[in-house]
Amino acid sequence: MVTDHASRPTAARGPGLPASITPALLERLTAQVSAAPDASRVTTSAPYTGVPLADFPVSTPEDVEAAFARARIAQKAWAATPIEERKKILLRYHDLVLARQDEALDLMQAENGKTRRDAFLEVVDIGIVSRYYARNAAKYLGPKRRRGAIPLLTHTTELRHPKGVVTVISPWNYPLSMAASDTIAALMAGNAVVQKPDTQTALTALWSMDLMYEAGLPAGVWQMVIGRGSSIGGTLMDNADYMMFTGSTASGRKIAGDAGRRLIGASLELGGKNAMIVLDDADIEKAADGAVAACFPSAGQLCVSIERLYVAESIRDEFIAAFTARTKNLKIGAAYDYSIDVGSLTTPSQLETVAEHVDDAVAKGATVLAGGKARPDLGPLFYEPTILTDVTPDMTLYDHETFGPVVSVYSYRDIDEAISLANATPYGLNGSVWTRNGARGRAVAARVHAGTVNVNEAFAAAWGSIDAPMGGMGDSGLGRRHGADGILKYTEPQTIAHQRIQGFTPPARISPETWATLLTGALKVLKAAGVR
């Protein structure tokens, strides 16, 4: 049922670049890459059309070393900058992102191929994250009194110091959110950042950095390098004081091992094979709408999107009919406005993976209810939103992440079976539960092995709850972004304990045995008094 991808066109099919992406803008952004004047170059293509988009200088390991050297000098002054001053810069950045969002939307669509609707959610995300850390950083980072070892006699304070220079490696699928949100927290904590965005979407990352400097960030605090991980990844790791990575589980495992060797911290958001459970009391129409929103944003190229859908047997047929009808009505295409529901895949390799997964499933007996084929008539990398049933364990997409607009639908008999099926994966990033009974939904959600689980929502509720941590369990990674965890991970805690009058050493005229008896009595009194 899938077309021959070898024959897909490479000529332009979709719209040309929007007027905002001018040669002057491209030159300004690419000039901010930390690379030598005579650096080799790499050219990216626009997914909508396949035509050349941007030409970047490629950073060498020596360029990366130089970027870290500059960052270390800049970080010392930045760490000494009062939090209130950092806050003002971040709030100005917040305002600039919202005011200039059309530039960001055009860049994201041009580089990634997503719809404007999906791109706008990234703008919203950065607005929320910027405001949150600007307004809450002082609370998280300020000195905190802690209970001392001896009440009244031990004055104990917890301090938070920045790690130093943080390496951020960000992916292509959410080029603004992933490039900026983790960096924002690192910067607010007093760190400098050396970032390697995926080359395919580096323009958006550079635009974000450019705006932060326009908002007042001192020179050298945030730097960008471009290149393959095989070339500069080792240098990025060897110079980092902390590693923030979003990408594949395979790469994450290597980074975790390298970070362990260096005894530095790492936060890793990795792959997922996320499940949605539709309970037997769910509102079918709302659940069908939710499934569309869960499975097909950014053409399924979203770490927290749903690829497995479990529906109670009693409502299976009715739900599938509603879900299939909605999926077939989605408008696929390329447009720099809000008229399109599903955009393009981003790279030829991603289209190849999606096609191989679907072809393999169909060849082994899966049934296609919607989609199932590429759309070269729309552009070189379009693939229809696809619903499959009769998927079995021998099919590749049964337990491998597809990362495209493809979902497999299964049924279950009871809640225990649904939970067992949802958890039958080494991943644990996101989940979704649909029901008319909120308490029941939350109880089921608590049994799903995932870092975030949404009730009557796809992923946006948990993702947008910035005050709560977001991240994966199992093969989906370690560490968290958002909330207190999202900024404290970029700091080193330090305890200052000032002992006054008397410590734990017995006074000169009291024997060790008597002193031990006195301390034992004191511990009993403290316990009886309810002291924690």
Element containing residue 269 per DSSP (H, E): strand 265-269
Q: Within 310-437, where are the H helices?
A: 316-328, 348-363, 415-422
Q: How far apart are CA 3 and CA 74, in angstroms?
A: 53
Residue type, 431: G
For 21, the token pair is 């992406």
Active-site residue, selected from the candidate residues 103, 111, 122, 269:
269
Ramachandran angles phi, psi of 45, nearest 5°: -120, 150
Residue type, 106: D
Ramachandran angles phi, psi of 165, nearest 5°: -115, 120
280 in Cβ contact with 412 (< 8 Å): no
Q: How far apart are CA 179 and CA 173, in angstroms?
A: 10
3-state DSSP helix/strand/coil percent for the chain, to nearest 5? 45, 20, 35
- DSSP string of 377-402, one letter each residue: TT-TT-B--EEEES--TTSGGGTS--
For 193, the token pair is 């950042």
Q: Give the residue carrying structure tokens 């670049």.
A: 17
β-pairing, 265-269 with 477-478?
antiparallel
- DSSP string of 460-523, one letter each residue: HHHHH-TTS-B--SGGGEES-BSHHHHHHTTEEEEEEEEE-S--SSPPTTS-HHHHHHHHHHHH
Q: How far apart are CA 10 and CA 376, in angstroms?
A: 9
For 292, the token pair is 């569309």
Q: How far apart are CA 413 and CA 393, in angstroms?
A: 19
269 catalytic per annotation? yes
Q: How far apart are CA 283 and CA 94, in angstroms?
A: 38
Which residues are catalytic, by number?
A: 269
